[in-house]
Amino acid sequence: MGPSIILDKSAVESIGDRALRVQSDHFYTVVTPILVWEVCGDIEKARLGRCDETKVRALATKAHPFDSIVTMDWRKVCLGELSGYRLDKYPSAGNRRAMVDGAHRVPMPSGGYVAPIDQQPEADALLRWQVGEWTPSDAEYAQAWRRLTKAIDLNTFKRRFGPARQPAETFDELKSIVDKVLTDPSLQYFLLTLLVEEITTDREKQRQLLKRWTGVRASTWQSQARFSRHCIRTFLTFYLALGSGLVGTRATNRVDVEYLLYLPFAPIFISGDEGTHGRLAPLLIEADQQFVLATDFRTALEKEADRLEALRSSDGEPAPELLVPPTSSLICRMYEKAWGKPPQPRRAWRSKPTGESSVGNIAKEFNRAMDYVKAHPEKYKQRPPWPHL
C-alpha cells in the first residue's frame, strides 16, 4: 500500500490492465462517489445501445482496483460538520486518507478497539457491474442521474457570478478574489447559504442548518467546519471562474467539480481533464499535494509495466531493489513527494511465506470483529444497499 490517489473517470478509462496492476502495487486508490455515479450513468448508455456493455464492465473493474476504498459522500461530511460534529483528524499534510462511512468501533477481548469496515455498498455495485449484473434499481438510478446532469444550467450561475460583480482576467486574479471573499466578515452568511444550497434541496433542512449559524456564530463557521470550508472554496472558485469566462458553461463541468470536493482525502489527484480540472485543481490543492495529468500517469505506469515484464522474462530471482521504480520515474517522484521517501523494495515475487502470515492474522481479527457486529444488530447499523437515494 502506498500514497492515496484520486482518479477522475477519464483517468480511469485511460489505464489498461497491466498499468492498473502497477498502480495497485504502488498506490492506494480512493474511489469517489461521483466516479461510482458516472459509471452507473454509463449503464443507461449501454441499455440504450449508445456504448458497448463490455466497456461499462471494464470501467467498473478499473474504478475499483485491488487496493482501494470508497470515501464518504462530501454532502454527508458537510452535514455532519455544520450540525456540530467535529472531525477527529482533519485530512491535512501527512494525514490525507479516505473518510470512510460504515466503520464499526468494536471492543477486542485483549483490550482496545478495532474499526472493521464491511463490504461497502458502492463496492458491491461495482462488483455486480463487472460481470454485467444490472438491477432494476441500478437502471432506475442511472436514468435519474442522466436526467439530473442534463438539467444542470450553468448559464444561470454565470449571470449570478458574472464579471460585473467579480471580474477576473487570470487565474491568479481569481485566486486572489476567492481568498478575499472567503475572509470577508460581511459575506460569511452568504457563503454558508451558497454551500447549504449545494448540499441539499430540502428547504426544511436548509433552514435548520442556517439557523444554527445565524448572527455572531456565522463568523466562526469556517474554522469549526474545515472540510466544509474547502467545499465552499471549491464552489466559489468554480462559479467565479464561470462568471469571468475562465471556464465554460457545459453541464459536465459541474460534474467535474464534484471530484475537486474530495481533494483533501488524497495527496495526489489524477485527471484527464485539462479544462475544469486542469485549470482549477492547481488553485485548490495545497503545498503537499500534486495534480497529475492522466496521460503522464498512464505513460509512467506502462513504462514500469514494460520494465517489470522484462525482469519476469529474465532468469533467476531479481534483486529486491530492482522491483522498485527508478528514481527518475514519475511514479517514484509522486510517491516520494507524498510520503517523504521513495518506494521500498518489496518481497521477492517467488518467495513463499512460512508459518502463519500477518495477512492471515488480520483476516482472523476482522472476522472476529464482524461476528461481534452481526451479533449486536441493535448497536451497529448496517448501510443500505446501493443506490441509497
Distance CA 111, CA 177 (A): 52
Distance between first and last Cα of the chain: 32
Give the type of residue at 274.
E
Q: Which residues, 6 or more positions from 377, have their beta carbon under 8 angstroms from its beta carbon?
A: none
Q: Tens-digit pLDDT profile for the chain (389 aa)?
A: 789 999 999 999 999 999 999 999 999 999 999 999 999 988 878 877 887 788 888 999 999 888 899 999 999 999 999 998 887 678 888 889 899 888 888 888 777 888 888 889 999 999 999 888 888 888 888 888 888 888 888 988 888 777 555 578 899 999 999 999 999 999 999 999 999 999 999 999 999 999 999 887 888 999 999 999 999 999 999 999 999 999 999 999 999 999 999 999 999 999 999 999 999 999 999 999 999 999 999 999 999 999 998 887 777 677 777 889 999 999 999 999 999 988 887 654 444 555 555 667 777 887 888 888 888 888 888 888 887 64
Contact assessment for residue 113 and residue 107, using Cβ atoms and an 8 Å cutoff: yes
Instruction: Give the DSSP letter of residue 346.
Output: P
Distance CA 284, CA 146 (A): 28
- Torsion over CA of 18, 20, 23 and 29, rounded to 10 degrees? -170
Residue found under cell 464552489? 235
Q: Which three cell numbers stand for residue 106?
A: 468494536
Distance CA 150, CA 188 (A): 31
114: helix, strand or coil:
strand
Name residue 267's beta-bridge partners. Answer: none
Distance CA 18, CA 383 (A): 34
Contact assessment for residue 26 and residue 2, using Cβ atoms and an 8 Å cutoff: yes
For β-strands 68-70 and 106-107, DSSP reports them as unpaired
Distance CA 69, CA 67 (A): 7
**Helices and strands counted in the chain (H then E):** 18, 7
What value does the CA radius of gyration of the chain take, rounded to a whole number of Å? 23
SS (H, E, C) 118-133: CCCHHHHHHHHHHCCC
Q: Which residues, 6 or more positions from 355, have their beta carbon under 8 angstroms from its beta carbon?
A: none
Q: Which three cell numbers stand for residue 283?
A: 488553485
For β-strands 4-7 and 28-31, DSSP reports them as parallel
Q: What are phi and psi of 270, to 5 degrees?
A: -120, 130
Contact assessment for residue 77 and residue 100, using Cβ atoms and an 8 Å cutoff: no
Contact assessment for residue 131 and residue 57, using Cβ atoms and an 8 Å cutoff: yes
